[in-house]
Amino acid sequence: MTLILGLNAYHADSSACILRDGVLVAAAEEERFRRIKHWAGLPVEAVRYCLAEAGARLEDVDHVAINRDPKANVLRKVLFAFKQRPSLALVRDRLANAAKVGSPLDELARALEVPRGRLRARLHPVEHHLAHLASAFFVSPFEEAAVVSIDGFGDFLSAMWGTGRGNEIVVEGRVYFPHSLGLFYQAVTQYLGFWSYGDEYKVMGFAPYGRPTRMAEMERIVRLLPDGGYELGLDFFRHHAEGVEMTWRGGYPDVGRIFTPALEDLLGPARAKDEPLTERHADIAASAQAMYERALFHLLDVVQRTTGLDRLCLAGGCALNSVANGKLYRRTRFRRLYMPPAAGDAGGAIGAAYVVWHRELGRPRGFVMDRAGWGPGWSDAELARFVEERRAAIEGEGCRIAQAADDADLVARVAEAIAEGAVVGWFQGRMEWGPRALGHRSILADPRRPDMKDVLNLKIKRRESFRPFAPAILRERVAEWFEEEDDVPFMMQVFQVRPERRARVPATTHVDGSGRLQTVTRAANPRYYDLIAAFERRTGVPMVLNTSFNENEPIVCRPEEALDCFLRTKMDLLVLGRTIVARAS
């Protein structure tokens, strides 16, 4: 038996996974255990969980793979240092960070209190973007596919592409530091007043309120190259000359200002955090999204033509741009797409682990990631026991506890509650891997109610009013409700809702008529599927509104966090396995 532990460490969205003989056993992000969003550092709690799920000790692990290789692209780094003469502080920060990456085995041994001498695992640093490519291709159903990774930066690159075939990946192109589409999008995100790590999705959600009227300016910021790559107008960016401060306050990644005053000369004054959003801001968001799409499809076009393949595996932080992904079949000649649920840096843990299994150990393919529940889970009986233990506190809040007789009874009751306007916390099976709630740790509601967005924001989410909520739809109904037809199990593509259907589901249809759908199959998640089917029988609508089970914290992991979130907010129903907790209205 071969055990491989995969890590994304010393980086935002730190995570761990474990493979047993090439089969994924468990994967989780550290933020879910530490309860701090995007937690960056060594994922000790995620490692502890993965080992427990595999019934193994750290001493039993044969290989530890990490999605960073400080030795990668060294020549490029040296050349850059000579040409650009970056500040000493920038060089010092990078060296300090690189030194940490060298010793995860020592640190893991210390954290798990295992004498270092007892570890037999070999450490494998895997280049960041190769791990991204592998995180998609090696767990995809494709024997052969074009592979593309795009992000901010990792190991001095911001993009890598090539061909995946069997257990090999051949790299055919790269974009080097300081040029980066991820950084471009992040700079505009900051410029628009969104400064938290990972706020790019807010710009993506806001863009449909504007028109791409600033493309001439965008073309000065991003220039497309004939080889499929791109260059940044470096006058607008600080990262290459001064460096961008990156601090981890208590594990939370904090990124300093990326853009220079030249960007404000070009686009006008940047928006302050609390300043109202105007049409000018919306037009800039729309233009940045359009520029990103132009660059993405330019690259994908070149990759499609050079590989001649019509299947694509996509990963890297930019692959979370589900709006762009949703246009892929219209704007390129690719005909099938696979993306893993954790397309961003967390997913690098799985990519690194599979690089070891396939490329270094030469083992054949055999595992496909077709579902997202790879985290901690509790049985129905455990969840019933947990609620029983907390009965006094629950009833003290005026809530009632009930047990469903069986699954049919459960989904009938919950579907009825949703149809009557209840907001439901839905806690089932193993926690999702990746940033999206996909029916394991979800809040569900009725997509037909025009006021449901406001209700959710009032009761729980308190998020920006421009951000849309997503529909989860029965797989076989997609073509009846959307203008595209595809599997979207991990909510990675936004499609247009058919115009005649939009008024039926106002709560999950964005201002531009789109919806960031999740397609649900019975094979992947039977109880979730049956619930949506029960909702369809009552209402004629084969979808529910699905949003992540949390307030402004990482998605809930344990039943304790779900119950606390339920009691703290104004959710109407909490469903833990087959146990139903109802707030008295």
Residue ranges in contact with Fe ion by CB under 5 A: 151, 154, 345
408 C-beta neighbours (distance < 10 Å), count = 11
Whole-angstrom distance, CA of residue 324 vs CA of residue 396: 48
Q: At what angle do helices 380-389 and 559-568 cross, to 10 degrees?
A: 50
Minimum CB separation of residue 246 from Fe ion in Å reads 14
* C-alpha 255 chain-centroid distance: 19
Q: What is d(CA 411, CA 180) in angstroms, rounded to the nearest whole number?
A: 46
Q: Are 222 and 233 in contact (CB under 8 A)?
A: yes
Cβ–Cβ under 8 Å, residues 435 and 320: yes
Report the nearest approach of Fe ion to the CB of residue 448 (Å): 38
Which residues are within 8 A (CB) of 117 and not within 5 positions of it... i.e. 6 or more apart?
A: none
Helical ranges in 345-401 per DSSP H: 348-354, 380-389, 391-396
Other beta carbons within 10 angstroms of residue 199's beta carbon come to: 16
Decide: residue 296, CB within 10 A, 0-12 exposed, 13-18 middle, 19+ buried. Answer: buried
Q: For Fe ion, which is the closer residue by CB, 154 or 341?
A: 154
Q: How far is the CB of 352 from Fe ion (least distance, A)?
A: 12
φ, ψ at 16 (rounded to 5°): -145, 155
Coil vs helix vs strand at 75 = helix
- CA–CA separation, 30 and 49 (whole Å): 10
Smallest separation, CB 349 to Fe ion (Å): 12
Residue 97 beta carbon to Fe ion: minimum distance, rounded to whole angstroms? 14
| Comparison of 31 and 151: residue with beta carbon closer to Fe ion | 151
Nearer to Fe ion, 293 or 345 (CB): 345
Minimum separation from the CB atom of position 151 to Fe ion (A): 4
CB nearer Fe ion, residue 8 or residue 428: 8
Query: 129 vs 436, which CB is nearer to Fe ion?
Result: 129
Q: Which is nearer to Fe ion, 154 or 228 (CB)?
A: 154
Residue 437 tokens read as 């709630």
Dihedrals φ, ψ of 283, to 5°? Answer: -65, -35
Q: How many CA atoms lie within 13 A of 213 on its CB side?
A: 10
Q: Which residue is nearest to Fe ion (CB)?
A: 151
Q: Smaller CB distance to Fe ion: residue 217 or 345?
A: 345
Q: C-beta of 67: minimal distance to Fe ion in Å?
A: 8
Min dist. Cβ of residue 147 to Fe ion (A):
14
Smaller CB separation from Fe ion, 164 or 425: 164
Q: Which is nearer to Fe ion, 127 or 345 (CB)?
A: 345
- Adjacent-strand bridge partners of 253: 248
- Measured from the CB of residue 38, what is the shortest distance to Fe ion in angstroms? 13
**Nearer residue to Fe ion within complex by CB, 38 or 527:** 38
Minimum distance of Fe ion from residue 304's CB (angstroms): 23
Q: Smallest distance, Å, CB 455 to Fe ion? A: 36
Looking at beta carbons only, is 154 or 489 nearer to Fe ion?
154
Task: Copy the structure tokens of residue 263.
Answer: 């960007």
Each residue of 19-52: b (16+ CB within 10 Å) or e? bbebebbbbbbbbbbbebbbbbbbbbbbbbbbbe
User: Cβ distance 204 to 50 under 8 Å?
Assistant: no
Q: Which is nearer to Fe ion, 349 or 422 (CB)?
A: 349
- Rounded CA Rg of the chain: 23
Shortest spacing between CB 132 and Fe ion, in angstroms: 6
Query: What are the distances in angstroms from CA 23 to CA 17, 61, 369, 481, 562?
Result: 11, 14, 10, 35, 29
